[in-house]
Amino acid sequence: MTTPRTYLTTPIYYASGEPHIGHAYTTFLADALARYHRQAGHRVRFLTGTDEHGQKIREEADRRGVTPLALCNEMAGRFREAWEELAISHDRFIRTTEEDHKAVVRAFVQRLHDRGHIYAAEYEGWYSVHEERFFTEKELGPDHTDPIAGRPVERIRERNWFFRMSAFQEDLIRHIEENPDWIYPEIRRNEVLGFLAKPLEDLSISRPKSRLDWGVPLPFDEDHVTYVWVDALINYLTGSEAIDPARPPGEQGFEDTSASWWPADLHLIGKDILTTHAVYWPTLLMGAGLPLPRQILAHGWWIAGDTKMSKSLGNVVSPLELRGRFGTDAVRWYLLREMPVGGDAAYTPERFLSRYGELSNVLGNLASRTVSMVVKYREGVVPEVAGEGLEAEAESALAAYHRAMESRRVHEALGAAMDLARAANGYVEAREPWAQARDETRADALDETLTTLVRALVLLSSMLAPAMPEKMPELARHLGLDEVPTLEESRRTSPGGTRVAKMTALFPRVELSGDD
């Protein structure tokens, strides 16, 4: 049997601002899925990185009085550090200013040109610097503002290169109709189909250097740079190692991607960048004759008050600040557990604490009482009995967990694990091990209780490790294991005979401070 392969991507984040919990959420989602698949034995490629060209970066660099590259070096460093502190397990961090990537962009647009999908034309339209794209008159908000951030747009007239996106409209509609899960969730699929119900315009893929010099020059017209969204989307291909720009045309990998990671199994994005990923990107790939990604998952927004959290609105919550107070896994847990994949969620300190409470009161409590009972009643050694007292609950939690993870509903998978932890606490109350311990004739029953609880905790450590990669290994060590077992191992093996280690609280209690 060949090992299943999974290639997952996050958007590449603009190198113009600090990472906030919106960026962290997409990245956590990808990380949890990557870890879940690795645990199941898949070969995984997990790509993330920074988007470093275009007007937004140029303007931010000018504002700070530094070169665009200096700004990008600094910000790419920030993102890398943040992901390290937040335990992100990406395999590759891509920067669009890397030579390799720029070469792939040039090879890609050259191929579109060679295949006759690119032409030059005069263009006049409403341009938003903030969103880095043109909007049609119909799309505009009141007083000539863009419909996304409500920023003023400018009327621009220039000669540009265009990609014949309109030629692929029918093929794209057919693809979406034939593959109902291609865009998840359904509400986003319908949004794209709605967008495609109107005639698709061709896509301007260049910017004259006279207006913007910070980008990848087009190989067939060095006076123009590649439109930043085209440049950025191609990162997924660069990161797959499908294209070798150093080789001559015909041998670069466009004809056959099977030796590479392409096509991606899943592009994780926020709903703000749906059109670029579900319309521009697949049509560009069709133009280049490449296979399409297998799925696009568009999640909702973290909102603050009643608007999207974003740097430009100045209402961002820093994941690193939360981490400083509560720890990496608490931040991951909150974001992944609180937001139903696909829906919106509001960040509030109260909700954060209530989700944290689940960790300390349900999971942490279960772990500390179990370990201390094994220490107190069995000198720290887990009894060698079956420990099948929670068999039915474990089976059903696991089935729900897999179902949810396979359909990318990570919040639900975590909920299934938490249900098992609750059931295990209920089991403690029902079995009353402290009463069993007082009665010599019930020694066997006590053994069964303790091993059942340790078994449940071992399984929970496997189920929760994709979300909490720091605390679950700690839990496993307290349970006498060297590392978190795979889900399969934790179902197969009995913990009997292992020696537990006295616990310090996994999730110490915390209080809100006056500033929250």
Pick from 6, 7, 14, 421 the residue near ligand MSP by CB under 6 A: 14
The CA distance from 476 to 271, in Å, is 37
**Residue 451: closest CA among 389, 499, 408, 362:** 389
160 vs 310 by CB, closer to ligand MSP: 310
397-416 positions binding ligand MSP, by CB under 6 A: none
Determine the distance from the C-alpha atom of residue 53 to the mean position of all C-alpha atoms in its chain, rounded to a whole number.
Answer: 22
Binding mask 139-178 for ligand MSP (x = CB under 6 A): ----------------------------------------
Q: Which of 200, 309, 397, 450 binds ligand MSP (CB under 6 A)?
A: 309
Closer by beta carbon to ligand MSP, 234 or else 428: 234
Strands 118-128 and 154-163: antiparallel
Rg (CA), the chain: 26
> Nearer Cβ to ligand MSP, position 288 or 417?
288
Contact stretch for ligand MSP (CB under 6 A) within 103-111, 228-236, 396-404, 478-486: 228-236
Question: CB 351 → ligand MSP: shortest distance, Å?
Answer: 15
Residue 216 binding ligand MSP, by CB under 6 A: no
Of 6, 7, 8, 23, which lies in the binding site for ligand MSP, with binding defined by CB under 6 A? 23
Token duo for residue 137? 């008159």
Q: Residue 510 phi/psi, 5° resolution? A: -130, 160
* CA 99 to chain CA centroid, nearest Å: 26
The pairing of strands 296-299 and 266-270 is parallel
Residue with Cβ nearer ligand MSP (235 or 368): 235
Residue 384: both structure tokens together:
């060698």
Q: Which residue has the tokens 């396979």?
A: 406
**Chain residues 25-44 in contact with ligand MSP, contact rule CB under 6 A:** 25-26
Q: Helix-strand-coil percent breakdown of the chain, rounded to 5?
A: 50, 15, 35
Distance of CA 31 to the CA centre of its chain: 6
Count residues near ligand MSP (CB under 6 A). 21
Nearer to ligand MSP, 228 or 459 (CB): 228
Residue of 13, 108, 126, 214 that binds ligand MSP (CB under 6 A): 13
- Taking the complex as a whole, the smallest distance from the CB of residue 379 to ligand MSP amounts, in Å, to 50
**Residues 256-295 vs ligand MSP: string with x where CB under 6 A?**
-------------xx-xx----------------------
Assign 116 to helix, strand or coil: coil
The DSSP string of 168-225 is: GHHHHHHHHHH-TTSEESHHHHHHHHHHHTSPPPPEE-EEETTT--SSPEETTEEEEE
Site string for ligand MSP, 43-82 (x = CB under 6 A): --------x-------------------------------
- Binder of ligand MSP out of 7, 254, 261, 302 (CB under 6 A): 302
Q: Which two tokens stand for residue 74?
A: 């600094």
Which residues sit at the interface with ligand MSP, rule CB under 6 A?
11-14, 22-23, 25-26, 51, 232-233, 235, 269-270, 272-273, 301-302, 308-310
